Structure 1
Amino acid sequence: MDNLFRRTGIDVPEPVRRFLQGETDTWLRVEEYRDGNTMVVRTDVPGIDPDQDIDITVTDGALHIVARRREPADKDQPGYRSEVHYGEHSRSIPLPRGANLDTIEASYIDGVLEVRTQLPEQTGTSATKVHVSRGGNRPPEAPKNNVM
């Protein structure tokens, strides 16, 4: 289904896309913003070892983040209660056209994963004027073949 959205150019919000694909509550919540010519993606993933529990890849123009949170050993102790989600959590973030994949860097500080990549300089937006025709100014239609 992801390929269908990508092919048709439909921009579907991540939670909706995941729901339609049958994924529930296994995604990372992210902050995404631009810092000058840098795209910054941040997500809170406390209590993990970034060397073992985080995988970051780029494929098909998207940044893919996978983080694993392992259940604690003392979970079977009497009185143990947890509202923390354990297991594998992931997120795919489309990268803007022209993002420099060679400059992608990731850091993990105080439970926050931050991924940065350089974007091309924005030289202002160019606009194309589109002519709006009035009622009778349409080009003539081609004749239709009436085959029965």
Structure 2
Amino acid sequence: MATRFDPFQEMDRLMTQVLGADRAAAQMPLDLYRSGDHYVAHVDLPGADPGSIDVNVDDRTLTIRAQRTPRSEEGVQYLAKERPTGTYARQLTVGRGLNLDAISASYTDGVLTLTIPVAEEAKPRRIEVQTGSAPTSIEASA
């Protein structure tokens, strides 16, 4: 099968280099919210190879990587080919006060869900105020 010339391929490659972070966000959109004593991130990864999904933490940087493999079918002539393929990565800088050793991850229906618990020392807690003994009266002498 002959390879077709794509005049936009080079421009797309250059735009990827220039706008790499914005494109990564567009290709790997996420919702992030706090629910009680943990944070939840839902990351859209439709079509990602489940075995290629990698989540890791280095210091305060959370990195998510995934691979979308192109379909290779003999004798197929595409009329439109808009679904991106390749390796995608997204990095988030996380703040202090999270228990990064207890992150859990699951991948269902094209959505990666990360659950990040708040560290014990960062959870709000009530501090009891101690009161002194009974009030003492001061008497004046004449």
User: What is the TM-score when the length of structure 1 is the normalising length?
Assistant: 0.61
* Partner Cα distance (1:75, 1:23) in 2: 33
**Percent of pairs with identical residues:** 33
| 1:82 partner amino acid | K
* Partner Cα distance (1:36, 1:55) in 2: 26
> Are the aligned partners of 1:26 and 1:88 in contact in 2 as well (CA < 8 Å)?
no
Unmatched 5+ residue regions in structure 2?
1-14, 127-142
- Tell me the alpha carbon deviations over residues 78-134 of structure 1, each in whole angstroms, 9 at most, x when there is no partner: 24422111111111112221211221110001110011110131349xxxxxxxxxx
TM-superposed CA distance for 1:47, in Å, is 1.7
Question: Does residue 26 of structure 1 match 2:20?
Answer: no
Moved over 3 A (4+): none
TM-superposed CA distance for 1:56, in Å, is 0.7
Larger radius of gyration: 2
Which residue is 1:94 aligned to? 93
> Are the aligned partners of 2:39 and 2:117 in contact in 1 as well (CA < 8 Å)?
yes
- Secondary structure at the counterpart of residue 71 of structure 1: coil
The count of aligned residue pairs is 104
- TM-align CA RMSD: 2.4
- Secondary structure at the counterpart of residue 47 of structure 1: coil
Which residue is 2:81 aligned to? 82
Unmatched 5+ residue regions in structure 1?
1-18, 125-148
* Partner Cα distance (1:76, 1:37) in 2: 53
Which residue is 2:9 aligned to? none
> Are the aligned partners of 2:54 and 2:65 in contact in 1 as well (CA < 8 Å)?
yes
User: What is the TM-score when the length of structure 2 is the normalising length?
Assistant: 0.64
- Secondary structure at the counterpart of residue 24 of structure 2: coil
